[in-house]
Amino acid sequence: MRFRQNHRSTQSVDGINIQMEYIVVVAILLVGFYLRLAMVSEIQIDTPFRADARQYTAYAYNLSKHRVYSLDFNGLIDKQHIAPSPDALRTPGYPLFLFLFTGSKNLDQFAVNVFYFQAILSAITIAVVYVLGRTLLSVLGAAIAAALTAISPHLINLNIYLLTETLFTFVLVLTIGALILSGRYENRYLWIASGILLAVATLIKPTIQYYFLFFIGFVLLGRESPECKKISILFIAASFLCIFSTWLFRNLVSLGYLSDPAITINTLHHGMYPHFMYNGQASTFGFPYRFDPHSQEISSSLSSVLVTIAHRFYTQPLTHLVWYLSKPSYLFRWEMIQGIGTFIYPVSHSPYESSWLFMRIYSLMRVIHPIVVFLSMAGMVFAWLPDRMFTMTVRQRFAGRLISLTYFYFILVHIAAAPFPRYSIPIRPFTYVLAWLGISLAATMMKKNWLGCVMLDLR
């Protein structure tokens, strides 16, 4: 496949009428929106206010009622409960989003309102994925990536939970799109917007907080002029730090520390057990830390968990090396390790049990899932091969490598931490884009090799 610029006119560069392209995109969006609305309207969740969802809801309502950022849920069920004490266990991105819906005093109605709005955001994400795909793929490739995003059971199911993933997916895709546009047009306002979006994404899910350092390295190693590099890094850093430092300053003033390390400690702790089992016992799968008699001691501090991991590498190097290197296979696993099938929290009824369309989509996506993931890994690697092997524009190469870098970053973070499949769902849109990129670049390489062989024979 030859990569060329898409000059907008009545005819696209891929030989597809521009009106037909719009029709295809709108059809994909309508299908994706219908699936999301159907899921929200028909689903029956067993105890939606549990674990993380319970904490996020508490933060939102405590902000609304007491103007205190706290995960204390008791005030929501006990009207006589005193104002809670502030904390910083969770970053405020998602709770602030939920705060917008706290006008409802009924928690069930509150949840339904959030679910429907998340369905809308998830549908908009499909459109952003298509636009993102068109920065480096053909119309067909971008349409396939958007279509897979539209029918992905994991992305559809996310909308029925009071969890960060739907909002984070939306903001993350927007962030990468803004970064690509910033690199393309070298516009200071786009760099500022990119930094703001990256800060918002970090406040929603702090696992992305170190991505900024990876991006700086990516820009410094790029082909742009030194002056352009300095300006872009300056604007994105200033806007990112301006937003994110507000959270750190609040913690320092209110609590006396910058951040709570408990989440970092837990995710490192939960990810240290080979194949998610305690001492290889199958009965402990998914929750090995609950069976470890030393769990409380291990998770007492960040230094304690790091020392324990280092000690285990020292005493059982091969076992733990194999485990950490195999973590991507768990990260992209189809079934939730801590969940039921593709659902994070159990449900008593879903369209996958009653709707022919949902059942067929589920079967299709489950069959192609390992193939798509494999192709995405290939695309992630191919994007960094020498330029002479492909016919790509500078803009396409920048977009492809930036998406590849983002994908690699998330994989690397979860190799170090706990690779629960839930954490890979926000990067599924990149999985679909990179999968088609892998196919396209592989086809280009084979075509070039074939033409090279033909030219040699002619000589």
3-state class of 343 per DSSP?
Answer: strand
Low-confidence ranges of the chain (pLDDT < 70): 1-16, 75, 77-81, 223-228, 447-459
Structure tokens at 254: 């209110």
pTM: 0.91
Give residue-wise pLDDT tens across range 15-28. 567 888 889 999 99
Q: How many CB atoms lie within 10 A of CB 368?
A: 13
Residue 216: the pLDDT is 86
Q: What SS3 string covers 364-416?
A: HHHHHHHHHHHHHHHHHHHCCCCHHHCCCCHHHHHHHHHHHHHHHHHHHHHHH
Rounded Cα–Cα distance for residues 132 and 18 (Å) = 17
Residue 80: the pLDDT is 61
Domain extent listing, the chain: 18-170+332-458
Structure tokens at 236: 């994105």
Residue 3: the pLDDT is 42
Residue 6: the pLDDT is 46
Structure tokens at 452: 């090279």
C-alpha Rg value of the chain to the nearest Å? 23
Rounded Cα–Cα distance for residues 379 and 1 (Å) = 14
Distances in Å between the Cα of 69 and the Cα atoms of 61, 75, 104, 243, 376 are 9, 13, 19, 17, 40
Q: Cβ contacts of residue 19 below 8 Å, gap of 6+?
A: none
3-state class of 137 per DSSP?
Answer: coil
| Torsion sign across C-alpha atoms 115, 118, 123, 126 | negative
Residue 452: the pLDDT is 55
Give residue-wise pLDDT tens across range 235-264. 888 999 999 999 999 999 988 888 888 889
3-state class of 45 per DSSP?
Answer: strand
To 10 degrees, the CA torsion angle through 399, 401, 403, 407?
Answer: 180
Q: Give percent helix, percent strand, percent coil of the chain, each to the nearest 5.
A: 70, 0, 25
Residue 448: the pLDDT is 63
